[in-house]
Structure 1
Amino acid sequence: MGAFAQLRDRCATIGQRFDYLALAPAMAAICYPFLLRAFHAVVGTQAATPSLSIIVGATLILAVALVVPFFALGLACRCNADPGARRLAYAAVTAPTLYVFLGVVQALNRSPIPDEIVWCVLWLAIALWSQTARNPVVAATWPTMGRWRIVHGMTAAVLSLYVAFHLTNHLLGLIGPDAHAAVMKIGRVVYRSRVGEPLLVAAMLSQIGTGLFLAWRWSAAPQGLHRTFQVGSGAYLSLYILGHMNSVFIYARSFLGIPTDWNFAIGAPIGLIHDAWNIRLLPHYALGAFFVLSHLASGLRVVLIAHGVDRRAADRLWDACVALSAVISAAIIAGMCGVRIG
């Protein structure tokens, strides 16, 4: 009886200590590709006018898929999460862009294994790591982080010019592919030049390196809402940029030998909506546009507060910028899905 009571008490202690929400981000990420598959099953491959029930069902499924990164962000905000669980949550924020990255790598390797199987194994491995990784000792301050933040911020300020042009270029998709192509041709004179392209790639890689370093340090301890959002959006953008460069430089230019134009971006001729593979590009692009703008807004908020701007005013500006980011992202995706104005 004594041994049984001891075992019971031990199990109760383990149950109290185990954080059941710690694995929720991995479970959400595992479900992500199956949500996209369900979306495709509802809309099908035909571009005929869908019924109201199909529109409602497909919209709800896609909305749930888009919620996955924000669900993970919410879990990353938990004060009682250990660093492993918090980093798992940040990793799950990247699920939409990581799934595209995985699909391209699978295509490059001509892998016969379905993406969903590789995806599930990958996330089970990440979840296992998050539970077995040693918790770091959180230092009160890291003197070197200030320097990394300055480098990261200065590079971001320069790259924001390219981001502004690139997103404006994509907004012109609402007018039509010809307008998009005409403006892109002008921009490529600079960012596709022998000097411009290497500098752009170097700046992007610098952003990834410094950003991931800062994210790793900040993820060791609980953060507030704004910092958590900044870290999570930065993690998403790091993988997005790497995946985008892989898609453009390796997959399109080297592997397929095709131009990276409007048709490449929207998965022509089928498009984003009615293709089982291409549908993964819709959340990938939408969240990419949203997170890059809102991440810049997060950095701006930090700079404003550091220069004496009232925190509440900075927070209100951040709220407005995040809302505007969502509107711009939706407009870009609408254009890529065939919506036209004028």
Structure 2
Amino acid sequence: MAAFAQPRDRSATIGLRFDYLAPAPAGAAICYPFLLRAFHAMVGTQAATPSPLAIVAATLILIVAFFVPFLALALAGRPDANPGARRLAYAAGTTPTLFVLLGVVQALIHSPLPDELVWSVLWLVIAIWSQTAGHPAATMRPTVGRWRIVHGMTAALLSLFVTFHLANHLFGLIGPEPHAAVMKIGRVVYRSGVGEPLLVAAMLFQIGTGLFLAWRWSAAPQRFHRTFQVASGAYLSLYILGHMNSVFIYARTFLGIPTDWNFAIGAPTGLIHDAWNIRLLPHYALGVFFVLSHLASGFRVVLIAHGVNGGAANRLWGAGVAASAVISAAIIAGMCGVRVR
């Protein structure tokens, strides 16, 4: 009878059960396209001359947009998050590249619905799924078999193409003509009848094994370096998939246009002053940053496995991440019109 006379306060129990940070990644992802829209409202078209205040506001908005995947990465590293919340955070870390993929698919199917509407509904569905579907927890070192080793070996081979491809884009700082000249040399190999199918097959293999490894590792909380490696790998998997869709299906098949410098920078309007193209700026910048820092993460694992001191390996990783950011900024600067003579 005492239990009826003094009802139990269930609010504390409910509060413990509900993870208020769990939906935060989805909320940040939903805000992302509206941040880009706000940026465009500040800078306007090429014909417009924004005021200094508008430039400052646009810069701050773009910084916040870039912060979205890193917020998701931080939330993915929470030790008390359940597997569903953790996987939602990893998914939100792919926001910039996933939004580009969505936009291209929308164009391919001639969707009458605004990208922002489809995007918001998509993330609401993902958020609900993450909290209702069964996500059994796993150990911090899940069984991944030899897939991790094979994935790393394929990545080492693909790093040759990545190195050339990014070096090619750095020539954009000199101008479109040097970029095109270097690309013409490279395409002799990676656009050949043998080279292109092998490259595509290797990329698809990396996507498949990368998503498999990300799914397995995301079942349990990981330390920072592993979390970063999983998050960057998830981003790259969708980036590569979206990039191949844009090149092979959208550009070559749907539009019938060359995938040259003008295609990459969204000419004639460019990356900054176009309401659609602005999404390409974070997409490209983080693509470059994550591909290089993901390779640095893999190299760190190899070093530690071969007896290198953890502190030294971490310092080398940090230097690699810093270099990744510098190279990414340089490539994006060239794509936005900065020239070094």
TM-score (norm 1): 0.97
**Secondary structure at 1:45 match in 2:** coil
Q: CA deviation at 1:4?
A: 9.4
Q: Report 1:1-342 matches (<5 A).
A: 6=7, 9-47=9-47, 49-139=49-139, 142-143=142-143, 145-342=144-341
Q: How many residues align structurally?
A: 340
What's the CA shift string for 1:124-149, capped at 9, x where partnerless? 00000011021314146544x24001
Distance in 1, matches of 2:152 and 2:111, equals 39
Distance in 2 (alpha carbons) for counterparts of 1:56 and 1:142: 46
Counterpart code for 1:260: T
Distance 1:27 1:36 in 2: 15
Q: Any conservation in 1 of the 2:140–2:222 contact (CA below 8 Å)?
A: no
- How far apart are 1:187 and its partner, in Å? 0.4
Structure 1 runs, 4 residues or longer, greater than 4 Å off: 1-6, 139-143
Residues in 2 aligned to 1:141 and 1:41: alpha-carbon distance in whole angstroms: 47
Q: Secondary structure at the match of 1:21?
A: coil
Q: What is the SS of the residue equivalent to 2:90?
A: helix
CA distance in 1, matches of 2:202, 2:326: 27
Distance 1:111 1:245 in 2: 21
Unpaired stretches in structure 1, ≥5 consecutive residues? none
- For residues 71 and 139 of structure 1, the distance between their equivalents in structure 2, rounded to whole angstroms, comes to 24
Work out the CA distance in 2 between the residues paired with 1:338 and 1:82.
44
The separation in 1 between residues aligned to 2:97 and 2:5, in whole angstroms, is 49
Give the SS at the match of 1:9: coil
Task: Return the offset for 1:54.
Answer: 2.0
| Contact map agreement 1:177 1:262 (CA 8 A) in 2 | yes
Greater shift, 272-281 or 40-49, is seen at 40-49
| In structure 2, distance between residues paired with 1:316 and 1:84 | 32
For residues 229-270 of structure 1, give each alpha carbon's deviation from its aligned partner in whole angstroms, at most 9, with x where no partner exists. Answer: 000000000000000000000000000000000000000000
Structure 2 length-normalised TM: 0.97
- Looking at structure 1, the residues matched to 263 and 4 of structure 2 have their Cα atoms a distance apart, in angstroms, of 66
Give SS of 2:192's match. coil
- 2:239 maps to amino acid: Y
Equivalents in 1 of 2:199, 2:205: separation in Å?
A: 10
1:95 counterpart letter in structure 2: T
RMSD: 1.4
Structure 1 residue 9: Cα displacement: 2.8
| Conservation of the 8 A alpha-carbon contact between 1:156 and 1:207 | yes
* CA-CA distance at 1:48 after TM superposition: 5.1
Deviation of the 1:53 alpha carbon: 1.3
Whole-Å Cα distance in 1 between the matches of residues 5 and 266 of structure 2?
62
Query: What CA deviation, in whole Å up to 9, does each residue of 1:287-309 have, x standing for no partner?
Result: 00000000000000000000000
Displacement of 1:52 = 2.0
Task: Quote the Cα distance in structure 2 between the aligned partners of 1:47 and 1:69.
Answer: 32
